[in-house]
Amino acid sequence: MAEKALRDSDALMVVEEGKPVGVITRYDLLGFLSEGAGRR
């Protein structure tokens, strides 16, 4: 879901129970995915 949303935006706000709890950027997601690929 985040991957699709970040195609059109540079960042997403993470909301839990209607309250903002963080921000994820395209850079964050790319870093996470590249680390996961090295573990496989």
Q: Where are the domains of the chain?
A: 2-39
- End-to-end Cα separation, the chain, in angstroms: 22
> What are the tens digits of pLDDT across the range 1-40?
777 888 888 999 999 999 999 999 989 888 888 887 655 4
Q: How far apart are CA 7 and CA 28, in angstroms?
A: 13
Q: What is the pLDDT of residue 19?
A: 98
Per-residue exposure over 1-37, b if at least 16 CB sit within 10 Å of its own CB, e if not: eeeeebeeeeebeeeeeeeeeeeeebeebeeeeeeee
